Structure 1
Amino acid sequence: MTWLFLTLHVALIVCLGLRILLRNDLQPDVRMGWLTLVVLLPYVSCVLYYLFGEVAQRRRGRGHLLQVQDFAVQAHVVQQASLVGKSRPHPAVAGATERMAAHVAPQWQAAFSYAASVNGFQPQPGHSAQLMADGGETLRRMLMDLDAAQHEINLLYYLWRDDQMGTQVAQALIRAAARGVVCRAMVDGLGSRPLVGSALWESLRAAGVQLAVALPINRPLQVMLNSRLDLRNHRKFTLIDGRIAYCGSQNCVDEVFAAKAAYGPWVDIMLRMQGPVVAQMQLVFASDWQQYATAEHAPYLPQSQPQALASPGFVALAIAEGPSERARACPQLFATLITSARQELVLSTPYFVPDATVLDALCAAAWRGVPVTLIVPARNDSAIVGAASRSHYHRLLQAGITIYEFQPGLLHAKTLCVDGQVSLIGSTNLDLRSFDLNFENNVLLQDADTTQAIRARQAAYIAQSLQITAEQVHGWPRRQRIWNNLLAMLSPVL
């Protein structure tokens, strides 16, 4: 009996280990993390690997899910087939690569070219943006735009609660639906689970608002058998009449976020944008609506296609990352932007658990003389993430990177500013979850005024932060350093 048990034990470790070693899509650190877990906890690791080990939409295969670019092309083909009789890519996807030199400065062309390769969306001129002062202003401006909508409203949020902000936005949708505006609202099945099925949700349905739940978990056993519970739609945006987009880090919740009030207030950042990038985000929404939420097609309404502003405006494009898109696109985009820096690089993120690609790019930028500043929250709502983040402090400080920990609340703003000219803003955190598991949305833009506004907001974060010194890190107790490094070692599988 003992020999049988020992044989099964070894066979389990060998078979699972071979499965991990045979995969071509794993980074070496992720592979090592899983192999370590298999050796230390063979039985537990089998369950964990089945539930969380492989990034799959459904274990039936990912082939039935279109990438955003393919969806955009097909959507345009459906609309234009009766008129032109042949396939043409959507205008938001159509090749403007040859025009990039006219609109994007040479220093940024590599970054914009890489960003364009993710979904096929091309950088377009003709944008304007206003940086919202805080969550209160975001709500006020959004409600005004929602009440002025004439054709169509599309909302997608990871978190939506029936608090003050969530209720007021819902009431604005009900008013819009009553006057004939087509309203669609989509939420993530886990992040917005308290809202789904609530009285507020049903009032939206009763008013004629079209509702959808992305990646639902109402049948958790079925999800665990066919997919992964931790694949989440983390996108956050509001689209109004195809003309206006609110995008950034803010969910449809109050800043105090009652569910985690102990870490509040949650400090976010949002842009109100106009221009062709809205069409690109509209396609992202339609793709999610059809593929991840319902089988119903959300048409890309012709009357909602925005035109470039009368003034030249600035260059921007939308970027939608996720498990259905090209693997490693997100960290490679960050690394490309970081490599482009010549004068200054400032980042803020609530969750800093980067992979080797991004970590090496940050350190390399600092070593070649670029001032690099990282701003993170002092208290993280995830103790595991907080500890894993601090495990990187020694290496970052050694490279000359300045680290600030934000004190008043949970700094939730995800921002990247390069040389005062280029900004990346959206829903993506600098962690492995955003890189590999979440569906995210971002906007990359080249504009000195908008970037300086975001940079001024980052300076305000720094003014409310404490700088972390090498002496502090060296003074951490051994048990803290061991704990931080242990969690960092296992972070690829957490």
Structure 2
Amino acid sequence: MLDFWFTLSPFLLGLYYLAIFIVVINILLENRNPLKTHSYLLLLLLLPVLGLIIYLFFGQHIRKRRIFSKNQLINSAFGQKYIDEYLTLENVTPIHKALVSEQFDKLIRFLSRDLSPLSQNNKVTLLKNGEEKFPALLEALNKAENHIHIEYYIFTDDEIGIQISEALMAKAKQGVQVRMIVDGVGSLALRKLYFENMKAAGVEIYEFMPVLFPSFTSKINYRNHRKVVIIDGITSFTGGINVDDRYVNNGKYPTYWRDTHIKLEGTAVKTLQFLFILNWQFVSKQPWRPTEKHFPKTEPSFGSSYVQVNASGPDWDLASIMDSFCLAINSARNSLKIATPYFIPNESIMNGITTSAKSGVSVEIMIPYTSDSWIVQAASMSFMKQLLRAGIKVYLYKKGFLHSKTLTVDNSISVVGSANMDHRSFDLNHEVNTYIYDPAIARQLNENFDADKADCILLNAQDWRERSIKQKLLESICRLLAPLL
């Protein structure tokens, strides 16, 4: 047997070197972000065989092009139909200088060019944690008359999941059209019986990119990370809260989950509806001709908030989530407050945050004291030195796990969504954020942020410098892999 392997090993080694050569050439020809290129090359160098396997599973863009090429055509064709038929007819809100500050003019124009029109006649209700979200969601579901569209990254068949599922099935039996999308990785725990029961009740349900090898799914690419519910084209829920008992904080789980969601009513729901239709066509492989019931007229009585709904994903031409974050950060004049569970910024985001602080803007960032991923936590901590040097206050949330994804600028605009401040949300996942131009909402979010400080420790520059060499080295190594996380 040993003689056999000795004879075979030169051929295997030659094949391995050939594979590495082809992979390296492929990485270079793709002209990716240099940081990501360096990370993959480093991975191939430090982990000779495992690095190649990781790249083949998670690093190739060929799969992305094959999966989403058709979706890009749908986006282009249906997107223009959406603008022409459903928004132009309602005279998409012009940028009123007196109502929406010129300070955010560039941000608004950027989003408007990416199928994210500025809309008025909106009412926004902030929902803190699952304790506020789920009762409001169940109440709205029970009032549905025409259709319910729902898509979640994580949907669990636990206590709260059963309540929502029963509400959906009851509505389907009443004749309400119920369409549901769950992510193939985030909702992997859903059993085949769950899908059979939902379909038997009349609920149309699809998995977004189901997976064949569950053991390799913890970081697989191109997930649908959105959390969206649309009811009758008028009411919607979106933000950071998935469907899982962990978010309810009822004592069932030891960890307290701090998160933020919104209930959105009015014209901006049309954009969320449009995004759902795109994903539905993708998962169902069927064309969909929307009707007026999907895009009903909205009345001025809904509310006075100006809103833009910003989406991004591997099927989007622009990295609009990241770019809009940059524009919002750079528009700050007085204050900037950021809450995110995963802080692994790229160079543009990091430069925007630190430059704002150095120019006199009060910048505060809140992240978890303990993350649910040690490697992500270590990579995040590697950025703290640069933040502290710029005069930024960093708060580490200790009460539980901070899962909120929010940003406020100058008590003027707010961002609530599904996107983390990391490379995965910027480049790989399907995400959706809501930009709210309403000082009242910004003040409320800032009050919540300030209240959460009581459950945080403020990072001290001196204590940070005194960390062990072992810890510093671990953080530096994880930072090298940050573009892949």
- Post-superposition Cα deviations, 1:324-367, rounded to whole Å, max 9, x if no partner, equal 00243222211111000001000000111111111111111111
**Structure 1 residues 73 and 329 mapped into 2: Cα distance closer, same or farther (>3 Å)?**
closer
- Post-superposition Cα deviations, 1:200-231, rounded to whole Å, max 9, x if no partner, equal x33221110111111111x349x99xxx9432
Structure 1 Cα separation of the partners of residues 11 and 153 of structure 2: 48
Q: How does 1:310-459 map to 2 (within 5 A)?
A: 310=301, 313-459=304-450
Q: Helix, strand or coil for the counterpart of 1:353?
A: coil
Structure 2 Cα separation of the partners of residues 185 and 214 of structure 1: 10
Residue equivalent to 1:110: 106
Q: How does 1:71-470 map to 2 (within 5 A)?
A: 71-73=77-79, 76=82, 88=84, 90-91=86-87, 96=92, 99=95, 101=97, 103-118=99-114, 120-199=115-194, 201-217=195-211, 219-220=212-213, 229-255=220-246, 264-291=255-282, 293-306=283-296, 307-310=298-301, 313-470=304-461
Q: Helix, strand or coil for the counterpart of 1:325?
A: coil
Contact 2:68–2:314 under 8 Å retained in 1:
no
TM superposition shift of 1:253? 1.2
TM superposition shift of 1:89? 5.1
* AA in 1 matched with 2:113: S
Q: Helix, strand or coil for the counterpart of 2:49?
A: helix
Q: TM-score, normalised by structure 2?
A: 0.90
Contact 1:95–1:122 under 8 Å retained in 2:
no
Q: TM-score, normalised by structure 1?
A: 0.89
Structure 2 Cα separation of the partners of residues 451 and 373 of structure 1: 15
Residue equivalent to 2:69: 63
TM superposition shift of 1:196? 4.2
- Post-superposition Cα deviations, 1:253-306, rounded to whole Å, max 9, x if no partner, equal 123589xx8772222111111111101100101100111x21134543312324
Structure 2 Cα separation of the partners of residues 360 and 262 of structure 1: 38
Instruction: Structure 1 unaligned segments of length 5 or more: list them.
Output: 78-87
TM superposition shift of 1:198? 3.6
Higher alpha-carbon deviation: 47-56 or 7-16: 7-16
Q: Helix, strand or coil for the counterpart of 1:279?
A: helix
Q: Helix, strand or coil for the counterpart of 2:371?
A: coil
**Structure 1 residues 403 and 198 mapped into 2: Cα distance closer, same or farther (>3 Å)?**
farther
Contact 1:57–1:323 under 8 Å retained in 2:
no
Q: Helix, strand or coil for the counterpart of 2:148?
A: strand
Q: Helix, strand or coil for the counterpart of 2:192?
A: coil
* AA in 1 matched with 2:66: R
Q: Helix, strand or coil for the counterpart of 1:442?
A: strand
Q: How does 1:36-51 map to 2 (within 5 A)?
A: 36-51=42-57
- Post-superposition Cα deviations, 1:98-134, rounded to whole Å, max 9, x if no partner, equal 545465210011111222233x221011111111243
Structure 1 Cα separation of the partners of residues 13 and 450 of structure 2: 60
Contact 2:265–2:302 under 8 Å retained in 1:
no
Contact 2:128–2:259 under 8 Å retained in 1:
no
Contact 1:256–1:264 under 8 Å retained in 2:
no
The yes-or-no answer on 1:52 pairing with 2:58 is: yes
* AA in 2 matched with 1:489: L
Structure 2 Cα separation of the partners of residues 431 and 275 of structure 1: 30
* AA in 2 matched with 1:19: N
* AA in 1 matched with 2:202: G
TM superposition shift of 1:180? 1.2
Residue equivalent to 1:85: none
* AA in 1 matched with 2:380: S
Q: Helix, strand or coil for the counterpart of 1:230?
A: coil
Contact 1:236–1:247 under 8 Å retained in 2:
yes
* AA in 1 matched with 2:50: V
Residue equivalent to 1:483: 474
Contact 1:263–1:410 under 8 Å retained in 2:
no
- What is the CA RMSD across the aligned residues, in angstroms? 2.7
TM superposition shift of 1:18? 2.2
Structure 2 Cα separation of the partners of residues 468 and 393 of structure 1: 9
Structure 1 Cα separation of the partners of residues 385 and 253 of structure 2: 28
Structure 1 Cα separation of the partners of residues 449 and 74 of structure 2: 31
TM superposition shift of 1:75? 5.3
Structure 1 Cα separation of the partners of residues 88 and 463 of structure 2: 49
Contact 1:67–1:324 under 8 Å retained in 2:
no
Contact 2:180–2:203 under 8 Å retained in 1:
yes
- Post-superposition Cα deviations, 1:413-471, rounded to whole Å, max 9, x if no partner, equal 10000001101111000011111111011111100111111111111221211111111
Structure 1 Cα separation of the partners of residues 476 and 248 of structure 2: 30
**Structure 1 residues 100 and 23 mapped into 2: Cα distance closer, same or farther (>3 Å)?**
farther
Higher alpha-carbon deviation: 235-244 or 296-305: 296-305
Structure 2 Cα separation of the partners of residues 90 and 54 of structure 1: 37
TM superposition shift of 1:176? 1.1
Using the aligned pairs only, state the percent identity. 29
Instruction: Structure 2 unaligned segments of length 5 or more: list them.
Output: 1-6
Structure 1 Cα separation of the partners of residues 244 and 426 of structure 2: 24
**Structure 1 residues 294 and 61 mapped into 2: Cα distance closer, same or farther (>3 Å)?**
closer
* AA in 1 matched with 2:331: S
TM superposition shift of 1:22? 1.5
Structure 2 Cα separation of the partners of residues 488 and 56 of structure 1: 26
Residue equivalent to 1:29: 35
Residue equivalent to 1:16: 23
Structure 1 Cα separation of the partners of residues 247 and 417 of structure 2: 20
Structure 2 Cα separation of the partners of residues 321 and 93 of structure 1: 25
Structure 2 Cα separation of the partners of residues 89 and 51 of structure 1: 41
Q: Helix, strand or coil for the counterpart of 2:69?
A: coil
* AA in 2 matched with 1:109: D
Structure 1 Cα separation of the partners of residues 73 and 406 of structure 2: 25
Contact 1:286–1:297 under 8 Å retained in 2:
no
